[in-house]
Structure 1
Amino acid sequence: MRTFYTPVDLRSRADMTGFLKKHFRYHTMNSWNRSTSYACNLKIHRLGLDGECESKLFDMIDTQEFFDLRRALLDEFDRQHNYLWQAGMNGRSSGYLVLYQGELKPSGYLSFCTECGQKNCRPATETDCVCGRCGNSTRINFRRPDMQVISYSLRGTDMDEEFEDWRLTELRERVRLVQSLDQLADRMVAQAIHLCRSYEVAEKTIFVPKTQKVLVSHA
């Protein structure tokens, strides 16, 4: 099984700059925007897994449970870095784990409907609390500012950077950041292997209610 985390001597400028320069990179959006960032290749056939586990994973990636568990790991990474740095999947088959820049900022919404969840930019008052979506008088103000996560997918990170003018403290901070991305990749691989060993993929028929218009005769 392939692992991504690599120990680095944080006392050595040469080791730190070498680690950052040689680290795998990938596009933050598409190849045409030419922006790249630190990344990990998580394509199934590149993980060094046995044939049975590899075959299972190709089926599992189409399940909602697999997606939700992977999303939870990505969200945890984002929270740990206060959303200033975020991890996301990119590539034609979402096979690359990529480091993105971002931020957490107020959304501008001041109230929300407790019935349907619709948000509103106006504050709710005793005379103005009707929801614009469902029409119920159930709109209330947020107790805390509503925040939204912003991702800058067009921004690259350390592209063509030589790190010559970076202080040692800055280099250590960047190395630790990239190492945390590598550790995330290792956790994602470990999670995938656990799923392969603990679960099977089965087909289940689910009936989804559908609303459609029909003709009804006059009584």
Structure 2
Amino acid sequence: MPYSSFEKNIEDMGLLAKFVYAQNFSQLEKNLPNTYKVEYFNSNYSSGFAGALLRDKNSGNYIIAFRGTDELVDSLSWIGENTPQYQDAKNFVFDMIIKYGIDKSNLTITGHSLGGILTAQIASELHLKGYAYNPFGANLLSYKRYKKYANVINDWANKNIYTISYQDEGLINGDILSNLITNLIGSHLGKFIPILGKNVGLDGHDIDALNNAIKEHKDII
């Protein structure tokens, strides 16, 4: 079955969410598919934030990828309305829009784990398209700054923000962060897309496990 543009976006954005874990500009550039160009990369933030601006050579559209973390405990420690990385991520987006003259309609955000939390938060706040991979559902609409505009944000998110979550038949149902823990104490924003894969235990949180499952099941997304 041929790709739809939506299926391609889910696979591509997942790969970009992986590649932003690179240690430097050169490594990111080396790993990136030829259809994308690295415009900017910065990981020198005291908060630990790292982000990259990428350009699709075919469409001319831009993607901002937020680096996440593989440590589940660290991911939970960044949850809240004013986390150390939130302001850095928001400023990064504003800086890239201004520096490269980007129209917001041509910009998409992606990220995994903590990067996915930031994706949902920044994309909902700035009305951008977003793909969040295995993030914790951080109850964003309960945040003080969003409550007044909850209906507007929720409507935008349902049409433009996607949470892609690894699922299996194991005890913790795939990714513990976007499934079990979110079901207990959180709530996702936007459209939730479960991706079924093999029972890999805690490795279900890993971006590689999710990307492999997406590749195997892309025709049913």
TM, length-normalised to structure 1: 0.23
More helix by share: 2
TM, length-normalised to structure 2: 0.23
Q: Highest CA radius of gyration, 1 or 2?
A: 1
Higher relative contact order (CA 8 A, sep 6+): 1
